[in-house]
Structure 1
């Protein structure tokens, strides 16, 4: 669950989230800016809820999609959300993409999940982002069980945590990484970001 910042006003906008059911099916949900104050204190991550009276729309955003689901849900003023009892809903709902598909440039405009073990690493460095702001990043290479490899980059806090894991803690065995909600980008090759 995250809050979008409106570019024009730099104020909090809509609340966006991805919810998952007991079968592991994920769907994107939007709470528009004008309804956010009504619902933001009622919802917390890692809790189960039942929802009533939602508006169903086509998941055709102009931005990268968070799920493969054909539809998305929108809260309305009349939407009701109620705490649900403990359930068997999966905690993470991973949907790992094959490295071979990533290497072949398969990009459906969806954020992806990956898992692999670290086979190459570079020290943390700083670079200017597209807005001219200095950002920390670390590049590393992951390998899957089919011996396919992909280059990866993580930024800022995650880069610092990754550097600490790979260089400070000096692990004695393989380091397996799970990244959820990654974006595929191409800079002289395919890279997961």
Structure 2
């Protein structure tokens, strides 16, 4: 069993418990509950799916003791990544990140044939922040169906928090995806960060657009209220000629 622990200051550390000890030690490790943990080992943290930036990780052993605590705190201890920083390509892709944004466009759930003949469900969409920076996203498995169902039921803005998201590249393009079962998704979460986000973009006219994913043909622009094929230009903000003339931002194409 793999999990993340946080202390009262919000510092997080990865922890692991072998199946041998799950029944005796892991059964009271409820998500969101506070516990006292004593007598454990620490080893260097590593790998390509690192949940924290801590140098070490905790390893439970036969002497590890877990007991209940009366401490109560519902803080999620998020480390939200700035979209511009993510898009800059400077982040270490071995570390999982937290992202919060508005879902702007969403395709249909696809069944993808994976290695070994197993099929996995895939959903492509875009997340936008308050500066209209946009992250291409692709989630797999049950999360794909959950998000697609929620989008079809929601009226108005849809916000999404994806915790422990994997930063990677697909055919050279940067993309955010879920890291197997490690990622946690919250749709329209009732948390201070999401409420502040909604207030900041409440006056914007950005609306959710649906499209049909087609890797061989992405030239048709998705129109509001209709399903079309995804246009990669939807990933970039629209500007008027005047805005381009008066712009001071330097970019390369």
TM-score after normalising by structure 1 = 0.83
Q: Is the CA contact 1:22–1:89 (under 8 Å) kept in the aligned structure 2?
A: no
Residues 74-101 of structure 1 show CA distances to partners (whole Å, capped at 9, x for unaligned) of 12222211100032362x2211111112
Name stretches of at least 5 consecutive residues in structure 1 with no aligned partner. Answer: 1-14
User: Larger % of strand: which?
Assistant: 1
SS state of the match for residue 88, structure 1? coil
Q: Is the CA contact 2:104–2:128 (under 8 Å) kept in the aligned structure 1?
A: yes
**Which residue in the other structure is 1:86 paired with?**
71
**Which residue in the other structure is 1:172 paired with?**
155
Name stretches of at least 5 consecutive residues in structure 2 with no aligned partner. Answer: 178-253
SS state of the match for residue 69, structure 1? coil
**Bigger RCO (CA 8 Å, 6+ sep):** 1
| Correspondence for 1:182 among 146, 150, 165 | 165
Inter-partner Cα distance in structure 1 for 2:26 and 2:73? 24
Note closer, same or farther for the CA distance 1:89–1:79 as it changes in structure 2 (3 Å cut). Answer: farther
Note closer, same or farther for the CA distance 1:152–1:58 as it changes in structure 2 (3 Å cut). Answer: same
SS state of the match for residue 76, structure 1? coil
Asked if 1:153 is matched to 2:142, the reply is: no
SS state of the match for residue 18, structure 1? strand
1:85-104 maps to which residues of 2 (within 5 A)?
85-88=70-73, 90=75, 92-104=76-88
TM-score after normalising by structure 2 = 0.64
Inter-partner Cα distance in structure 2 for 1:74 and 1:177? 32
User: Larger % of helix: which?
Assistant: 2
Inter-partner Cα distance in structure 1 for 2:62 and 2:85? 41
Note closer, same or farther for the CA distance 1:132–1:184 as it changes in structure 2 (3 Å cut). Answer: farther
Asked if 1:110 is matched to 2:108, the reply is: no
SS state of the match for residue 177, structure 1? strand
